[in-house]
Amino acid sequence: MATATFTHTDEEIRDDVLAELKWDPQVQASEIGVAVKDGVVTLTGWVDSYLKKWRAEEDAQRVAGVKAVANDIEVKLATERTDADIAAAAVRALEWDANIPAGKVSVVVSKGWVTLKGEVEWQFQRQEAESVVRRLLGVKGVSNLIAVKPQSTPSELKKKIEQALMRSAEVDAKSIAVEVQGGKAILKGKVRSWAEKHQAEQAAWLAPGIISVENKIEIVL
């Protein structure tokens, strides 16, 4: 039996993106313009925080039929904050976050744009550092240059992921093969549901030092 495929017109995608923006309480849809061409969404307008700009992009990416998002939204602050103030606030926010190892992340701010540098062991720590800074008043953008450097070898990472899969009640570990190339985990095999495939990918992401996951697992019903 052939699998049904659904296509979305640019107009339908635009309407869905606008609806998604209106649904998000952290975004004011009236501040944002949406244009769609061949499935590529362009966001325009002005917002008063980088968090709103980032959330709008995330909202658009969730919509079915969207192939890519060009985020041309500008951040215009009602009251400008000095780079020194933003840097100090960013350093404090990173220090107060228990998920981010002390002294591992440095901050540079230029015209409201924050650049994060340093090394951490876990991907979630890298993401958490960006998330913390993104919320700060006065931030106009974030460049996350933090590197994820594992303390384990690829073979040790492979073993840790395999053990995590075996511990999961939602995954049949015997049906999944794991490869690790540097900081990249590659998953292969066959599972019975999307939930099982997703759970296997989440297990791989939790390994220290993993910076990308290629999920080649097939769903066989």
> Which of 54, 67, 2, 1 is CA-nearest to residue 24?
54
pLDDT in tens, the chain (221 residues): 444 446 789 999 999 999 999 999 889 888 999 999 999 999 999 998 888 999 999 999 988 888 889 999 998 877 788 999 999 999 999 999 988 988 899 999 999 999 999 998 888 899 899 999 998 989 989 999 998 886 778 888 889 899 989 888 778 888 999 999 888 899 999 988 888 888 899 889 888 778 789 999 988 86
Spacing of C-alpha 22 from chain mean position = 21
Alpha-carbon distance of 183 to 146, in angstroms, equals 14
Q: How far is CA 78 from CA 16, 33, 82, 113, in A?
A: 30, 20, 13, 16
pTM over 0.75: no
Intra-chain end-to-end CA distance of the chain, in Å: 13
Q: What is the DSSP letter of 62?
A: T
Distance CA 156, CA 1 (A): 43
Q: Sketch out the chain's domains with CATH numbers.
A: 10-75 (3.30.1340.30), 83-148 (3.30.1340.30), 154-219 (3.30.1340.30)
What are the tokens at 189?
Answer: 């095999």
Q: Which among 101, 129, 95, 98 is positioned nearest to 115, based on CA atoms?
A: 129
CA angle 149, 154, 155 (to 5 degrees): 145
